Chains A and B, each alone.
Chain A
């Protein structure tokens, strides 16, 4: 018996008022947004409230929206209530100039590496993270490669010498 999306929305609105907003349902999954300094409070509430019980962090990642000034980076949490089998998507937005978001690694051990990965690729600074360093890329890297400002190599470029690869 799944919890209805309306009920989740109602409970969240009761607790946080208009601090939680942008509720939408995409392909059956409830998605909403909160200010970034509330992310832990919202997740703790979702975790502790018995009738919600979102105690499993399925996924954590970031998205870069370069055209959205002041909200360039979104950190997206996918939470799952395994008992009632309901999933929700929770987003916080932050500016790219001060990408500080509180870490969820005290609440979910699984967030540790996922936040490191998010830091590695997007430069989201998870405040309070026990070991925030690069994980998949080399330590010497000085940029955050999944940000949209770094396009993949332009395949029409002509300045590259491919002779060594038999394409000269």
Chain B
């Protein structure tokens, strides 16, 4: 800035800041986010977020719903990785009910959860590319998200809001088609991911746009309650999968990628590296699953008849199964009393479920620890003094999901 010799009048327009409304429906925000930003030219002086546009009172709804009716609610939190939410919820229920799952179920769950993580990171990273001007990668990797969705579809019948799994396992065994599609994914996806990386990682435009944008120190990130890739990009190797393993994550060998500066570029790199680690985990889990022989290879749920829904064909033909189906869905089996906090590593951080049961049919209180609600409050600090277009990039690189933010 070389304006030392210019004397501006007190009310000159150059002295004034502009207040703009970014969102709530601006296409660049990728969701319902509103920011009221004070700009000096193109530089952000301050910003204030408004959240709650798609608040649906999940915590209140959950107080009237038995366990199985809450699973579809969790779908709608982070809808880019619904299976992780579903399984996080089922794991919470299992912890409360004391259900032990067989190893094969754990490994199948790990496969689905890691696929969901890849789908989540894939969207986030390619959107960072889009916001910095590279649309190609986004359109290109979409077909692999499609392949992941087809695997979900084989397992549970739906794609986006999956409602996958049951308390104790899965609704059905993985079909051969599911495994064929998984093999196809394992074979083809590394190529595509490599191409996405070669498109962006050392791309000069991309690097100059992202390096140094929206940085946060490890100390501030911890104080702000960051978790997941955003915290790891700041250099803290906290990962729920390693710190409090659930669903037999301790059986797998994988690394926790960390960054250093916590800026947009590091967040991008950490997510990319995590996708490679997820591929490693899926491959190991798939190998382990193939080791099960005989009847063990048919196990896809724990033996918990009080909470695991009977088979659909039995429900339609047998009275006993019909009664149990009804009882479980309507929650006529009382839960034990207790307070449980269970966390899983969601797509964008530690997704926690704090469930208080007073021994009734429905939770007395259910609180979701939504990672992006907690770290979004750091946004004004991240974008202060940056350019408006970098503020957009920071928003997409934080992996904010409106559904989770507003619960």
Contact = CB atoms under 8 A, between A and B. Distances in A.
Interface of A: 26-27, 29, 31, 55-59, 61, 63-64, 76, 78, 82, 85, 87, 89, 108-110, 112-114, 117, 121, 135-138, 145-146, 152
Given A112-B377, A113-B377, A135-B52, A27 B95 contact: yes
A136 B55 contact: yes
A137 B377 contact: no
B136 interface: no
B407 interface: yes
6 tightest A-B contacts by CB? A110-B225, A136-B52, A61-B367, A136-B55, A59-B369, A113-B377
A112 B51 CA distance: 14
Contact of B407 (A58, A63, A78, A136): A136
Contact of A58 (B60, B369, B376, B378): B369
Interface string B47-64: 000011001010111011
B60 A145 contact: yes
18 contacts: A26-B340, A27-B95, A27-B96, A57-B225, A58-B350, A59-B341, A63-B356, A64-B365, A78-B341, A82-B236, A82-B238, A87-B244, A109-B220, A109-B378, A110-B225, A113-B374, A135-B52, A145-B60
Given A31-B339, A136-B51, A137-B55, A59 B367 contact: yes
Contacts of A109: 220, 223-225, 377-378
Q: What is the interface of chain A mostly: helix, strand, loop, or mixed? A: mixed
A121 B59 contact: yes
Nearest to B369: A59
B64 A152 contact: yes
Contacts of B340: 26-27
A48 to B, nearest CB: 14
Contacts of B60: 145-146, 152
A29 B341 contact: yes
Interface residues of B, number: 41
Nearest to B57: A145
B244 A85 contact: yes
Given A26-B339, A110-B223, A113-B374, A59 B354 contact: yes
A57 to B, nearest CB: 6
A29 B407 CA distance: 26
B52 A87 contact: no
A76 B377 contact: no
A59 B366 CA distance: 13
Interface in B346-384: 350, 352, 354, 356, 364-365, 367, 369, 373-378
B377 A27 contact: no
A27 B95 CA distance: 8
Contacts of A31: 339
B369 A55 contact: no
B406 A136 contact: yes
Nearest to A112: B377
A58 B244 CA distance: 14
B222 interface: yes
Nearest to A83: B238
A144 to B, nearest CB: 11
Contacts of A27: 95-96, 338-341
Contacts of B63: 152
A145 to B, nearest CB: 6
Contacts of B338: 26-27
A143 to B, nearest CB: 12
B204 interface: no
B326 to A, nearest CB: 17
A80 to B, nearest CB: 9
